[in-house]
């Protein structure tokens, strides 16, 4: 079943700026359907009110949580006052339910609603608008699909959803990026490491950065990396900053499943558990053999499930540190009665996010070995000036689709020829990361993989979900300036 089940008009009510609009639910919601409202809300950032979008579920909280075995039966009501379309990032629905604005599946008009019904895959997922740049304005939310085995572990579920926030509009941000004068932009021309450092946003005042792990790339000491295109006003963890973080009550010696979602538009982080040790057990919702550690990189749009067993009582900050800066956000786990002290919004210097974790990951259920039926190279190109980004020298929407045939094993070589890392996301499929910089790895199953500056990553997947599928960089501003293409199955009309 690959058609959208129903599309019906919805009589909207004039509550455009309220947090939880009161809607005539019975009028539009089929019996078993969960109601998800795309709307607007007001949050406080740095002491100022900020009007942002939101995706509010039936329990009044952002996003959706599904029980084991429950179908994704959702009525998405657009109360945002503007068209929208919501992508169920990492899920594998029929293509017409993927939430991408193809001509066959246009955005949902203001006041309209749309129904979805598919079998979801369990794990930590998320949802975000794929309409224009609404993602930057927090049209994003968690999508948690529980599975019975994980529930039997009886761990407290903690979601940590990350965002980057600006009081400017995304249109203003994009205009700044695409019109920056020469002397303020980064350049692709290799320079000495120190002059390159000085060009990185927010890093000019960071002596010693050149010696940090992660800065040496592929043995070359003569390259300049671009990080953090956009200067943000704040970094949010579950919509809050460290000035007023979420404090989550936990039991003495509590057992936690931390679900980290990087829902930012242009920012990548290191998750820092402080003195705690955690075990990464899933990447992008897909189980991996556990990896112990206290500090894990998370690229744009990726997710990490981290199991943490707390030692006795106390206060345990869980931080997300912005790569290449000292800025940080996060939440606090605290046992009853433990005093929560203020955490600074600036910590210590943090290196660029890299594939140090990726190289160590082993999927719990790898793709069965098989020879590839098709191997395709996709070159990642572009530059800061002019600010345009390309795949195989093509700029969305003027692209040539990569044609797939159902049943093929496909391998894609992602070759980054730029000085910026690109987190590449494929819709509608889970892929296996099979090699990094020519080195074969056992690798994780994912939907988004980081291709570091000048790096090379190979992914493999089975073409088992016919349709039209977007493949793009998940940096919003790279996608908006061209870094997107289409994987299309033979027999599917354009």
Measured from the Cβ of residue 32, the count of other Cβ atoms closer than 10 Å reads 9
Q: Which two tokens stand for residue 426?
A: 């494929």
Assess contact for 347 and 319: CB atoms under 8 A: yes
Q: Reduced to 3 states, what is the DSSP secondary structure of residue 183?
A: helix
Query: Could you tell me which stretch among 81-89, 158-166, 167-175, 421-429 binds Cu ion (CB under 5 A)?
Result: 421-429
Q: Which of 409, 478 has the CB closer to Cu ion?
A: 478
478 part of the interface to Cu ion, by CB under 5 A: yes
Q: Which of 320, 480 has the CB closer to Cu ion?
A: 480
Assess contact for 179 and 173: CB atoms under 8 A: no
Q: How far is the CB of 97 from Cu ion (least distance, A)?
A: 26
Q: How far is the CB of 227 from Cu ion (least distance, A)?
A: 12
Angstrom distance (rounded) from CA 141 to CA 17? 18
Q: How far is the CB of 326 from Cu ion (least distance, A)?
A: 24
Query: Could you tell me which stretch among 120-128, 338-346, 456-464, 477-485 binds Cu ion (CB under 5 A)?
Result: 477-485
425 part of the interface to Cu ion, by CB under 5 A: no
Q: Which of 265, 475 has the CB closer to Cu ion?
A: 475
The HSE-up count of residue 43 (CA atoms within 13 Å, CB side) is 22
**At a CB cut-off of 8 Å and minimum separation 6, what does 286 contact?**
123, 363, 364, 365, 430, 444, 445, 446
**At a CB cut-off of 8 Å and minimum separation 6, what does 61 contact?**
none
**At a CB cut-off of 8 Å and minimum separation 6, what does 102 contact?**
95, 468
Q: Which of 41, 474 has the CB closer to Cu ion?
A: 474
Assess contact for 382 and 389: CB atoms under 8 A: yes
Q: Say which residue the tokens 């075990």 belong to.
A: 279
Q: How far is the CB of 265 from Cu ion (least distance, A)?
A: 11
Q: Which of 326, 395 has the CB closer to Cu ion?
A: 395
Task: Show the binding pattern over residues 198-237: x = contacts Cu ion (CB under 5 A), - = does not.
Answer: ----------------------------------------
473 part of the interface to Cu ion, by CB under 5 A: yes
Q: Say which residue the tokens 């800065």 belong to.
A: 215
Q: Say which residue the tokens 């345009």 belong to.
A: 388
Q: Which of 284, 462 has the CB closer to Cu ion?
A: 284
Assess contact for 298 and 319: CB atoms under 8 A: no
Number of residues that bind Cu ion (CB under 5 A): 4
Q: Which of 72, 487 has the CB closer to Cu ion?
A: 487
Q: How far is the CB of 377 from Cu ion (least distance, A)?
A: 17
Q: How far is the CB of 374 from Cu ion (least distance, A)?
A: 24
Q: Which neighbouring-strand residues pair with 158?
A: 258
Q: Which of 236, 300 has the CB closer to Cu ion?
A: 300
Q: How far is the CB of 386 from Cu ion (least distance, A)?
A: 15
Interactions with Cu ion, residue window 147-176 (CB under 5 A): none
- Could you tell me how far CA 385 lies from the centroid of its own chain? 25
Q: Which of 101, 382 has the CB closer to Cu ion?
A: 382
**At a CB cut-off of 8 Å and minimum separation 6, what does 368 contact?**
none
Q: How far is the CB of 140 from Cu ion (least distance, A)?
A: 18
Task: Show the binding pattern over residues 114-143: x = contacts Cu ion (CB under 5 A), - = does not.
Answer: ------------------------------
Q: How far is the CB of 483 from Cu ion (least distance, A)?
A: 5
186 part of the interface to Cu ion, by CB under 5 A: no
Query: Could you tell me which stretch among 108-116, 288-296, 310-318, 475-483 binds Cu ion (CB under 5 A)?
Result: 475-483
Q: Which of 177, 250 has the CB closer to Cu ion?
A: 177
Query: Could you tell me which stretch among 40-48, 199-207, 359-367, 476-484 binds Cu ion (CB under 5 A)?
Result: 476-484
Distances (CA, A) of 174 to 104, 215, 430: 28, 27, 30
Q: Which two tokens stand for residue 15?
A: 């509550």
> Which of 35, 286, 303, 422 touches Cu ion by CB under 5 A?
422
**At a CB cut-off of 8 Å and minimum separation 6, what does 463 contact?**
404, 405, 406, 407, 408, 409, 410, 429, 489
Q: How far is the CB of 60 from Cu ion (least distance, A)?
A: 35
Q: Which of 267, 287 has the CB closer to Cu ion?
A: 267
Peptide bond into 386 cis (omega under 30): yes
Measured from the Cβ of residue 304, the count of other Cβ atoms closer than 10 Å reads 24
Q: How far is the CB of 233 from Cu ion (least distance, A)?
A: 22
Query: Could you tell me which stretch among 2-10, 155-163, 422-430, 436-444 binds Cu ion (CB under 5 A)?
Result: 422-430
Residue 370: closest CA among 285, 282, 432: 432
Angstrom distance (rounded) from CA 162 to CA 238? 6
Q: Which of 422, 425 has the CB closer to Cu ion?
A: 422
**Positions of E strands within 328-408:** 328-335, 374-383, 388-391, 402-404
451 part of the interface to Cu ion, by CB under 5 A: no
Angstrom distance (rounded) from CA 372 to CA 446? 18
Provide the residue count of the chain.
494
Q: Which of 106, 386 has the CB closer to Cu ion?
A: 386
Q: How far is the CB of 478 from Cu ion (least distance, A)?
A: 3
> Which of 75, 105, 329, 475 touches Cu ion by CB under 5 A?
475
Q: How far is the CB of 111 from Cu ion (least distance, A)?
A: 34
Interactions with Cu ion, residue window 65-84 (CB under 5 A): none
The footprint of Cu ion (CB under 5 A) covers: 422, 473, 475, 478
């Amino acid at each position: 079943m690959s058609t959208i089940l129903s599309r019906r008009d919805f009589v909207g009510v004039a509550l455009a700026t309220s947090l939880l609009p009161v809607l005539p639910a019975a009028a539009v919601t089929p019996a078993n359907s969960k109601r998800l409202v795309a709307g607007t809300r007001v949050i406080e950032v740095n002491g100022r009110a900020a009007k942002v979008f939101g995706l509010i579920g039936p329990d009044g909280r952002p996003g959706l949580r599904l029980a084991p075995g429950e179908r994704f039966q959702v009525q998405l009501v657009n109360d945002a006052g503007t068209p929208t379309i919501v992508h169920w990032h990492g899920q594998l629905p029929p293509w017409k339910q993927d939430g991408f604005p193809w001509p066959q599946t246009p955005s949902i008009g203001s006041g309209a609603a749309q129904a979805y019904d598919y079998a979801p895959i369990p794990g930590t997922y998320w949802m975000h608008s794929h309409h224009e740049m609404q993602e930057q304005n927090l049209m994003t939310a968690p999508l948690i699909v529980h599975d019975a085995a994980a529930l039997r572990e009886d761990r407290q579920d903690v979601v940590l959803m990350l965002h980057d926030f600006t009081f400017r509009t995304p249109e203003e941000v994009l205009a700044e990026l695409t019109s920056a004068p020469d002397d303020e932009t980064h350049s692709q021309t290799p320079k000495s490491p120190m002059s390159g450092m000085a060009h990185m946003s927010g890093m000019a005042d960071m002596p010693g950065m050149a010696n940090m792990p992660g800065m040496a790339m592929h043995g070359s000491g003569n390259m300049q990396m671009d990080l953090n295109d956009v200067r943000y006003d704040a970094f949010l963890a579950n919509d809050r900053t460290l000035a007023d973080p979420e404090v989550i009550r936990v039991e003495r010696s509590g057992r936690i499943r931390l679900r980290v979602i990087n829902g930012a538009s242009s920012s990548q982080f290191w998750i820092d558990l402080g003195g705690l040790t955690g075990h990464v057990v899933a990447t992008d919702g897909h189980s991996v053999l556990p990896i112990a550690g206290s500090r894990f990189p998370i690229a744009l749009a990726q997710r990490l499930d981290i199991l943490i067993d707390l030692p006795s009582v106390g206060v345990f900050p869980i931080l997300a540190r912005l790569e290449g800066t000292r800025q940080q956000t996060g939440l606090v786990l605290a046992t009853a009665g433990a005093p929560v002290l203020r955490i600074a919004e600036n910590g210590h210097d943090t290196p660029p996010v890299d594939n140090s974790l990726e190289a160590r990951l082993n999927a719990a259920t790898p793709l069965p070995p098989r020879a590839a039926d098709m191997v395709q190279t996709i070159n990642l190109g572009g530059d800061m000036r002019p600010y345009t980004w390309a795949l195989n020298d093509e700029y969305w929407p003027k692209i040539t689709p990569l044609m797939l045939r159902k049943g093929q094993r496909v391998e894609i070589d992602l070759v980054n020829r730029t000085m910026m890392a690109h987190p590449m996301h494929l819709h509608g499929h889970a892929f296996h990361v099979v090699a990094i910089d020519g080195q074969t790895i056992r690798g994780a199953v994912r939907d988004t993989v980081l291709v570091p500056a000048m790096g090379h990553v190979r992914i493999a997947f089975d073409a088992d979900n016919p349709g039209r599928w977007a493949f793009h960089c998940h940096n919003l501003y790279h996608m908006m300036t061209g870094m997107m293409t289409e994987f299309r199955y033979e027999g599917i009309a354009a």
